[in-house]
Amino acid sequence: MGTLTSGKVALVTGASSGIGRAAARIFAREGAKVAVADVHVAGAEETVKMIQDAGGEAFCMKADVSKAAEVEAMVGAVVETYGRLDCAYNNAGIEGALASTAEYTEADWAPVIAINLTGVWLCMKYEIPHMLESGGGAIVNTSSAAGLLGAPRMPAYVASKHGVVGLTKTAALEYAKSGIRVNAVCPGIIDTSMVGRLRERRPKMFQKIEAGEPIGRMGQPEEIAETAVWLCSDAASFVTGHAMAVDGGIVAQ
Amino acid sequence: MADLMQGKVALVTGGSSGIGRATALIFAREGARVVVSDVVIEGGEETASLIREAGGEALFVSADVSQAAQVEALVAKAVQAYGRLDAAHNNAGVEGSSMMTTDYTEADWDQVIAINLTGVWLCMKYEIPHMLKSGGGAIVNTSSAAGLLGFRRGSAYVASKHGVVGLTKTAALEYAKSGIRVNAVCPGAIDTPMMGRLTDHRPHRAAKMASFEPVGRMGSPQEIAESVVWLCSGAASFVTGHAMSVDGGLVAQ
């Protein structure tokens, strides 16, 4: 066990699998008590079990981050259970439909923006007051390499993830003097179930994307999670408002 | 002592004071053997002594990073002393003259570019072959918030630091598949001897500089050093070609 987030309370959304699960486990490995949230209850419960089996402390709850009342209740439950909130990893997201901008339907567009962008804002809206109460905190939002670059046939995803970068910078500036740091992490191609679905749906497009990883391999969820947890730790005390690419060099091209 | 860099050999240029000294000390704290380099011999020797007094292993080698022969000799001495080179923080830099673009002289310009930009390139030129031999490594180059934004009366500094970002991305792409990661760190206003010179060691000027920071204070050298050492560690295994802001929110504005 490490000590990066020793004695802290961390909340992770989208923690039933992939990057969120890895982050929940690494927060726990580094000494934090972890609140695991997702719409997928079975996966969230499994994440909690993994943490407990490793000797950590965690609980889970169901929450749809696109619903204000559910986000408010989620954050309320964390503070009720563990007494405070020090770190939040707002990570829940979906890839959405794959279609060109002109072919995208409103029904395709709305859930992507609601979960990926409005969801991150709602999480911060309810997390920040508790962090202000206890004198500070650290937030990491999951953006994407698609938060810095365009990606054909993913207009809503790209717009939502660019939006997360802008929102992150704005919140960082607003709360910089109040001891709350807000950063975004921008993963490249990571070996998660989301990427598995994309590969199944668009194998050719995906081959091209994968071939574009300068480092020649996909990233692992743990590689993003290590970054998110480090950004939440005191070692990153002067890092705020930053969109950190963890992408094997994709956006450097 | 922690173990982010256990068993590794790290080289730090500009290690006589400020950010370079802090990085050398944190590399050692995390278990690395450290080669400290600078043109300022007394300060560099002192950094090496500080490491040895804390129970670490360090060696000082004097070198001017703008001179190819000296850089080649520096890297060779590091490998001769410790058998390998795993991590390098190419950090030596100067602020140059503070004047308008049209008032800059060629002599002023050449010195800043030679140390801040050509120096970083020369360091990588001689470091990378040794890293390739041992199967990989990690490099962090010191850029600046001035590597991402313009600053009045700092044309050579700003140009050199922007250049470091571009050079970092290029080297990262070239060696991504060879196990060498190359990143840049972009500090904001940091309380270093360089900052002391820029503010003429006058408290009201330092206070004004701090007021540009969204967090309302200058950063400490240690806050940059923590980022550099983390970027060189295995925890950052999927981070390459990235210009990481550690600036209290300065460039998010």
For B112-151, the pLDDT digits (tens) are: 999 999 999 999 999 999 999 999 999 999 999 999 999 9
**Residue B105: how many other CB atoms lie within 10 Å:** 11
Determine the residue of chain B that is closest to A166 in CA distance: B252
The token pair at A111 is: 């859930």
Q: How confident is the model at residue A1 (pLDDT cuts 50, 70, 90)?
A: low
Candidates B220, B239, B245, B250: best to mutate against A (most CBs of A within 10 A) is B239
Total residues found in chain A within this entry: 253
**pLDDT, tens digit, 9 for 90 and up, residues A181-220:** 999 999 999 999 888 888 888 888 778 777 888 999 999 9
Residue pair B227/B125 in contact by the 8 Å Cβ criterion: no
Q: Is A151 exposed, middle or buried (0-12, 13-18, 19+ CB in 10 A)?
A: middle
The closest alpha carbon to B228, from B13, B65, B41, belongs to B13
What is the pLDDT of chain B when averaged over all its residues? Answer: 96
User: How many other C-beta atoms are found inside a 10 Å radius of the C-beta of residue A150?
Assistant: 10
pTM of the complete model beyond 0.80: yes
Please confirm, yes or no, whether B157 is among the known catalytic residues: yes
Which tens digits make up the pLDDT trace of B164-198? 999 999 999 999 999 999 999 999 999 999 999 98
Chain A contact set for B166 (CB, 8 A): none
**Helices marked H in A98-232:** 106-112, 119-133, 155-175, 193-201, 203-211, 221-232
- Residues of chain B contacting residue A241, judged by C-beta atoms under 8 Å apart: 214, 245, 247, 249, 251-253
Asked if the interface predicted TM-score (ipTM) of this complex is over 0.85, the answer is: yes
The number of beta carbons lying within 10 Å of the beta carbon of residue B163 is 18
For the segment A223-245, the average pLDDT, to the nearest whole number, is: 98
Q: Searching chain B, which residue's CA lies closest to the CA of residue A239?
A: B246
The predicted pLDDT at position A208 comes to 77
Cα(B44)–Cα(B41) distance, rounded to whole angstroms?
Answer: 5
Name the residue type at position A84.
R
- Whether B240 sits inside 8 A of A220 (CB atoms) is no
pLDDT of residue B67: 98
Dihedral sign computed on CA atoms, order A136, B195, A4, A229: positive
Amino acid at B181: R
| Beta strand pairing call for A87-90 and A137-142 | parallel
Q: Which residue of B has its CA nearest to A177?
A: B215
Largest CA distance in chain A: 51
CB A250 within 8 A of CB A219: no
Query: CA-CA distances (angstroms) from residue B136 to A224, A250, B33, B66, B175?
Result: 21, 19, 17, 25, 9
What pLDDT is recorded for position A233? 98
Cβ of B238 within 8 Å of Cβ of A230? The answer is no
Q: Closest to B239 (Cβ–Cβ): which among A220, A239, A246?
A: A246
Give B230's contacts in chain A (Cβ within 8 Å).
Answer: 230, 235
pLDDT band at A231 (very low <50, low <70, confident <90, very high): very high
